[in-house]
Chains A and B, each alone.
Chain A
Amino acid sequence: MTTDTDVPALVEMRGITISFPGVLALDGVDFFLRPGEVHSLMGENGAGKSTLIKALTGVYAIDAGTITVAGARRSFESTADAQEAGISTVYQEVNLCANLSVGENVMLGHEPRSRGGIDWKAVHEQARGHLTSLGLELDTRSALASHSIAIQQLVAIARAMVLDAKVLILDEPTSSLDRGEVEQLFAVIRDLKEAGVAILFVSHFLDQVYEISDRITVLRNGKLVGEFPIDDLPRDALVTAMIGRELSDLAALSSVADREIPRDGAPVLRVSGLGRKGLLEPADLDVFPGEVVGIAGLLGSGRTELVRLLYGAERADSGTVEIAGESARIHSPRQAMAHGIALSSENRRAEGVVADLTVAENMILGVQAQRGWLRPVPKAERDAIVGEYMEALGVRPADPALPIGNLSGGNQQKVLLARWLATQPELLILDEPTRGIDVGAKADIQRKVAELSAQGLSVIFISSELEEVLRIAQRVVVMRDRRRIGELDSSDVDLDGLIDYIANADEGSVAR
């Protein structure tokens, strides 16, 4: 179903230009959003998607260009202005207040009032109504923090409905949802579309984009590539438009997973019965030299907990860890690093980058931590490391003196990868290294992982994207409900097989 181009646009953005120190983030971009359509905004990291959205939601001021909403010329000074104009946004990172109740988060700033002030009964009734329309049955008086991220995301969407938005912007809303929740969200999006809401959808899941969108606008390097009805833009054409090069890069990687790994020697890492009450049931894990082991499972299945326990970021209450055949006691990340283990966290913003420091400073943090603060890294060595990895990973913009907060998610992730590679680890643990980043950066990171493992580095690779796990891991450990349920050889199983295994495999059965 495609919407008619003749329908006048609800939002018209013309010639939008925004620049930051040293970066022209948007260069004369046009964007049109029509009522009753789902319009996907696509582009690599750093293409200007987030910047365009922030211009439309009043977070950034525009340097040039015009924004017209429902025929009226607008200039937004703040998010409140944009909401006033009927534009609501649901962000990738849930932007709600965890200290308040679910109902209050839905209604905050729009609480029904009676003579005695806020009418709490009505607040919760209305909130429940909005949540129910999303198919959510929640105790609206419970604290938001007591719910999962996925639920919080849906609460954020319920909040957008309260604002009676004419334009709903969904910025990577599905990155932490499981399949059922995505279906639920899409049902809601279709309802809203029927009701004439203009929906701007951003996702890096191509399947989802093709499932839900009517139209796609592609950006590249801050410039408009074009606007296309969904039927006129096959996937390979889309990817080519986004990254300006052919997709064969990713396909070429598929040989990596088929590489034979000799598993007769001592494993680099042998974990037996590692667990902690309430966090993870005792689990085993072996990693051999040069092997990439994938950990697959849904969000909250215990995959992150497993690596955090073995890295010493959480204290285990059972189990042993052997490194290169020798028993090791790891009670802190520092000890893990001393044993040649590096972990890049799934939480890029909170546990990864230090936003105010420069790219170079962020990159050097791992090496500095290894040396201890008494022995600063000499400038020459520092420049050498930074130069080497900027080049090797293709960090853009290629300016190590820029604050890392100015970089796109994919480029931040590359810097984090560089941080840990610079420490010369024996075992590299990557937790969701490609979440919320674009195809180009994703391919760069996957290629680098494949290349390093071929040189003998062992890698534990966690990702929600099962295709990606199958593509680069030789072996996949499957987790469910905070329990290891088995492992698969990735050459024996295809995507559907893995999904089926995650969903249905009996406990304890090991398919090899």
Chain B
Amino acid sequence: MTAVETTPARTGGAKAALVTFSTRHASVLPTFAAIAILIVLLVGAQFQFGNFVSPGNMSALLYDNAHLLILAVGMTFVIVTAGIDLSVGSVMAFTGILGASLLTNGVPVWIAIPAMLVGGALIGLLIGVLVQQFDVQPFIASLAGLFLARGLAFVVSLSSIRIEDPVMDWLRTRFSVGGWYITPTGIIALLTVVVGAVIMHRTRFGRTVYAVGGSEQSARLMGLKVARTKVMVYVISGLCGGLAGLVLTAYSSAGYPRNGIGTELDVIAAVVIGGTLLAGGRGYVLGSLVGVLVFGTINTIISFMGADQSWTHIIVGALLLLFIVVQRAIVARSERGS
């Protein structure tokens, strides 16, 4: 028997190394591009404003965007299976107002917080079942989830509910070292990223998520648990919605039924900028972290400039367009083969 193909690696030379890299890791390139953009943004802003990359500012980046980061982790799971979850902003609002309402009605915090998480997960389960069992387009199923969650939020309360609870207060206490600080909400967000990345890369469930996004038909014929996986990604996204609701409520010390209108789109934008392919099969939770940081940095730069916040959306929109084009090019190239 003769060897059909030789390994391009180990033949030495920078070019061979490059070939090896491109056959192995073409899907990481968009994430590297996002990191490059983040660095350019930070360095540029530092030159422009002089005091941009400061401990306070960088700490605030995590503090202000913790809820976005949590939602982005859940969204990454869904988008990698080639799905979409439009409900996350509303789920965050619903679980937030639900928690606030429970707490002000004297329900102990150790019941209120699990109730928020379960509430989010249940809406995710509903979307997942619609997608998997009833073969509804993810766009439509999660749109139904969006309306349901937003409606439920208004059922709980039509107006903002302030909360005064020691645990919720503790969640936004700042642990400082020098000018840097981190809050429990920030730690929760970072933990979510770590747990998400571990599930995606080190569990069979996570690998099935990628397989489903690559080719659902193949995944099924390979004997993978496709149905369970597709439902689970929406449950995870819903759970992240509940967690984001908790974090946002602690951050603003109030529940508000109009929270997070349009946030799902910010989240999707951040995930795509972070290198996850909307067509599914490729993407990284850590990439989504970078995507959220890019999004947050643009926001901060706009407010430093004193410009209107609507510019954030224009710039993010332009970046999104750029990234989708770059991704198309990379995918087209890798499909053509080496």
Contacts and interface: CB of A to CB of B under 8 A. Distances in A.
Interface of A: 59, 78-80, 82-83, 89, 91, 95-101, 104, 108-109, 111, 113, 116-118, 135-139, 141-143, 145-148, 150-151, 154, 159, 163, 180-181, 184, 187
Interface in B216-237: 217-225
Interface string B203-225: 11001101101110111111111
16 contacts: A89-B221, A95-B222, A96-B218, A97-B214, A97-B281, A99-B210, A117-B198, A117-B202, A117-B203, A118-B204, A143-B334, A145-B334, A146-B23, A147-B337, A181-B4, A184-B1
Contacts of A187: 1
B67 interface: no
Contact of A109 (B6, B24, B208, B282): B208
Nearest to B219: A97
B222 A96 contact: yes
B4 A136 contact: yes
Interface in B1-36: 1-9, 20, 23-24, 26-27
A104 B225 contact: no
B3 A135 contact: yes
Nearest to B217: A95
B214 A99 contact: yes
Most buried by B among A101, A146, A163: A146
Given A142-B23, A146-B23, A137 B222 contact: no
A138 B9 CA distance: 10
B207 A111 contact: yes
Contacts of B334: 143, 145-146
Given A108-B224, A139-B9, 8 more contacts: A95-B221, A97-B222, A99-B214, A100-B210, A135-B4, A137-B7, A142-B23, A146-B23
Contacts of A109: 204, 207-208, 222-224
Contact of B338 (A79, A91, A108, A146): A146
B221 A118 contact: no
Interface of B: 1-9, 20, 23-24, 26-27, 198, 201-204, 207-208, 210-211, 213-215, 217-225, 281-282, 334-335, 337-338
Contacts of A145: 334-335, 337
B23 A143 contact: yes
Given A97-B210, A135-B4, A184-B4, A79 B223 contact: yes
Given A95-B215, A117-B202, A141-B24, A108 B1 contact: no
A409 to B, nearest CB: 17
A150 B207 CA distance: 24
A56 B4 CA distance: 32
Contacts of A141: 24
B26 A111 contact: no
B225 to A, nearest CB: 7
A185 to B, nearest CB: 10
B10 to A, nearest CB: 9
Nearest to A119: B202
Contacts of B222: 79, 95-97, 108-109, 159
Nearest to A146: B23
B1 A91 contact: no
A181 B2 CA distance: 10
A79 B221 contact: yes
Nearest to A135: B1
A96 B221 CA distance: 9
A450 to B, nearest CB: 36
Contacts of B282: 99
Contact of B218 (A97, A111, A136): A97
A83 B223 CA distance: 7
Contacts of A89: 221
